[in-house]
Amino acid sequence: MRAFLREILIIIIAAIGIFFLLQTTVQSFVVVGASMEPAFEQGQRLLVNKAVYRFREPQRGDVIVFLHNQRADYIKRIVALPGDTVEIKKGVVYVNGSNLYEPYIKDTPSYQPLQKEIPENEYFVLGDNRNNSNDSRNNWTVKREEIIGKAWLSIWPPNQWGLIAHYPLQEQLSSTKLFPQLPQVEMNHGWSTMGTSMGNGYLLQLSH
């Protein structure tokens, strides 16, 4: 009897340990909004890797979830890193003087000219649905400590199941001479918050 109770206790302790480990490494969200289309759609469920940036810094092309203005979590794609110079002109995004090939954006963007050097420990982010996105073009960047994690896995609906695609800068730059600039998007997520304003896509937090 004692052996049986000991086994039950071990199982319970292991289950609790696994539960708390998952809470610190993975978080589940539901997408509300269209700002990151076509990569992410309304009602799509995602898992976010909260541990990856403990071992390396965020990279250009990463899709990240972050806390915006201490109120709501957004999901965007990193375009430029601390110290980079971003320029938008004639409908094209340039990073450090090189124009980007962006196959992930939805429609041909309508851009306003912009030039910005990214401050230390901050990131310039854009939505893939550029014409319906509140992002760094609106004169804000993402601080390193605001990043929650990297979008990792789509778990719902079934036809969207799979690892989330990320586009390293090298991959984008290698194609700029062969392909023209294409369009992009945005989103965000709030703890039981519904977005109503144009350009804000929200994520509902399913678990901590």
Which residues are annotated as catalytic?
A: 35, 76
What pLDDT sits at residue 51? 94
pLDDT, tens digit, 9 for 90 and up, residues 51-89? 999 999 999 999 999 999 888 889 999 999 999 999 999
Going from N- to C-terminal start, the domains of the chain cover 28-207
Class of domain 28-207: mainly beta
The predicted model scores a pTM of 0.76
Please name which of 106, 76, 110 lies closest in space to residue 93, comparing C-alpha atoms. 110
Q: Which two tokens stand for residue 147?
A: 């990043």
First-to-final CA distance of the chain: 36
Contact 126, 133 (CB under 8 A): yes
- Report the C-alpha gap between 47 and 133 in whole angstroms: 22
- Report the C-alpha gap between 171 and 74 in whole angstroms: 25
